[in-house]
Amino acid sequence: MTQKRAAAPQADPYFPAQGDTRYGVHRYELALDYRPAANRLRGTARLSAVAGGATLREFALDLADFRLQRVVVDGRPAHYAHRAGRLRVRPAKAVEAGAAFTVEVHYTGNPQPVTSQWGGLGWEELTDGALVASQPVGASSWYPCNDRPADKATYQISVTTPSVYTVVVSGRLLSRTTRASSTTWVYEQTAPTSTYLVSVSIGRYEAVQLVGGGSVFAPRRPVRQTGYVPSRLRREFAVDFGRQTRMMDFFEDVFGPYPFDEYAVVVADEELDVPVEAQGLATFGANHLGGRRHSERLVAHELAHQWFGNSLSIGDWRHIWLNEGFAKYAEWLWSEHSGGPRAATHAANAHEHLARLPQNLTLGDPGRRLMFDDRLYQRGGLAVHALRLTLGEGAFFRMLKGWTAVHRHGVVTTAGLTAHAAQYTARPVAPVLDAWVHRAALPPFPEPAA
């Protein structure tokens, strides 16, 4: 197996206590047994990793308050200390710089969300089942990990639970095996994935296939799209997600090929404040249905994240606008394409709204407190619109496809976008992005370049 390049040496400036830059993980293998009635999780995690540029005499994993049964490094029991969400491991034999190693962690307990300023993050017990919503640092609520967005890895995840439940996991279903009253679901995610983008949904769902026809501009094999929906909501789902296959075709035309094998949508039988993005998977609440397509912009937003945020993952959380700004602009592009207001109209409305609000958010480094502020989404969309006007129509859409192709399954930064966009025009791009991304004052509404 090809070894993963050593992780960048800097800790995330917004979450310096998360993750460990001394090594990188290239594969997780998780075997979980979950009992919803007792909210009881028993897990075994096997991590395949590579040490960075120095000998590893110890290293850390992020893991919430579970009871540990044993920790093994390269087949030998390791010394460890586990408190305050950090599992510090000292191997019996130090790992040489650049060497591959494996870690096994056996654990059990009652998973709870990680406390944060945004509420609970990660594993959430539902009235009847569970779901995972980890952004930005909730992955440790259910498995030991190196919780940094740039540390991407492949996954195999096995979940055993009572057979009355359906289990949906980020990835492709490999097998489903029933023994007695329990069923084991095994999923594989072959594309590199950030820790916070791995999700599990457990509930009483019916599978509904959405059939797309491929692009009329460039016919291709339709992407497999599946909805997992409570039976009572199937009719509303058919309306509210009825245009998702057309949306997929359109986004493939403007962003490039869908970056994963398939796309799943779960509708939890609960109300959720906002949908939950994950790699190849999005989770909505029952409140997002209604049979009137009132949440279609959210359907577009979550689908667009499969390109911007999931395939193209941010180097650290300072760059979150690259996820949310492009997903917001995808909403506006879909509106324009599907007969609604044009992107320019949405941009003008957003600019008018932002002009009435405090000018204390810097898009390219909003700070931890403001990283999910609604202004970041709106201004991010405006920054993309300004880039469109600077480049011109043809160059802008070529730039988008180039951006997603060059960095497919990789890690991106704002500086990288600036350099990439500059290749598509003779006009200066850096001053435009500097005004929108690196300065707090709201620039004038962008006008087409002369």
Residue 7 has pLDDT above 90, yes or no: no
Shared domain for 368 and 431, answered yes or no, is: yes
Residue 370 is assigned to a structural domain of this protein = yes
- Rounded to whole angstroms, the Cα distance separating 437 from 443 reads 10
Residue 100 is assigned to a structural domain of this protein = yes
- Rounded to whole angstroms, the Cα distance separating 85 from 138 reads 11
User: Rounded to 5 degrees, what angle do the CA atoms 170, 242, 284 make?
Assistant: 40
Residue 10 is assigned to a structural domain of this protein = no
**What is the pTM for the complete model shown?**
0.95
Predicted local distance difference test score (pLDDT) of residue 16: 96
Count of positions (residues) in the chain: 450
Average pLDDT in the 367-382 region? Answer: 98
DSSP codes, 232-269: GGHHHHHHHTTTHHHHHHHHHHHH-S-SSSEEEEEEES
The encoded tokens of residue 17 equal 């206590």
Give the residue, 242 or 214, on which the prediction is more confident. 242
Shared domain for 230 and 150, answered yes or no, is: no
DSSP codes, 158-191: EEEEETTSEEEESSEEEEEEEETTEEEEEEEEEE
Predicted local distance difference test score (pLDDT) of residue 398: 98
Shared domain for 236 and 279, answered yes or no, is: yes
Shared domain for 161 and 264, answered yes or no, is: no
Pairing of strands 262-268, 281-285: parallel
Omega prior to 9 cis, within 30 of 0:
no
Residue 233 has pLDDT above 70, yes or no: yes
Q: Which bin fits 204, alpha (ψ -120 to 50), beta or left (φ > 0)?
A: beta
Shared domain for 322 and 416, answered yes or no, is: yes
Pick from 239-243, 290-294, 316-320: least confident: 290-294
Alpha carbon 81 to chain centroid distance? 30
Residue 344 has pLDDT above 70, yes or no: yes
The encoded tokens of residue 370 equal 């403001």
> Average per-residue pLDDT in the chain?
95
Pick from 38-47, 215-224, 236-245: least confident: 215-224
Shared domain for 431 and 358, answered yes or no, is: yes
Pairing of strands 153-162, 166-169: unpaired
Predicted local distance difference test score (pLDDT) of residue 215: 46
* Structural domain containing residue 319: 315-437
Residue 393 has pLDDT above 70, yes or no: yes
Residue 445 is assigned to a structural domain of this protein = no
Under DSSP, the state recorded for 1 is -
Are 252 and 405 contacting, i.e. CB atoms less than 8 angstroms apart? no
Shared domain for 301 and 416, answered yes or no, is: no
Shared domain for 43 and 177, answered yes or no, is: yes
Work out the pLDDT band at 154, boundaries 50, 70, 90.
very high
Predicted local distance difference test score (pLDDT) of residue 2: 42
CA terminus-to-terminus distance, the chain: 52
Count of domains for the chain: 3
Determine how many CB atoms are found less than 10 A away from the CB of residue 232.
10
Predicted local distance difference test score (pLDDT) of residue 426: 92
Residue 443 is assigned to a structural domain of this protein = no
Shared domain for 217 and 270, answered yes or no, is: yes
pLDDT in tens, 122-142: 999 999 999 999 999 999 999
Shared domain for 170 and 76, answered yes or no, is: yes
Query: Where does a domain end: 285, 306, 327?
Result: 306
Average pLDDT in the 408-412 region? Answer: 97
Shared domain for 33 and 151, answered yes or no, is: yes
Q: Domain containing 163 — which CATH number?
A: 2.60.40.1730
Average pLDDT in the 86-107 region? Answer: 98
In one-letter notation, the amino acid at residue 195 is T
Predicted local distance difference test score (pLDDT) of residue 219: 54
Predicted local distance difference test score (pLDDT) of residue 448: 81
Residue 212 has pLDDT above 80, yes or no: no
3-state secondary structure of 68: strand
3-state secondary structure of 443: coil
Work out the pLDDT band at 309, boundaries 50, 70, 90.
very high
Residue 123 is assigned to a structural domain of this protein = no
Shared domain for 256 and 390, answered yes or no, is: no
Work out the pLDDT band at 6, boundaries 50, 70, 90.
very low
Q: Domain containing 233 — which CATH number?
A: 1.10.390.10
Average pLDDT in the 106-121 region? Answer: 97
Work out the pLDDT band at 319, boundaries 50, 70, 90.
very high
Residue 124 is assigned to a structural domain of this protein = no
Predicted local distance difference test score (pLDDT) of residue 288: 97
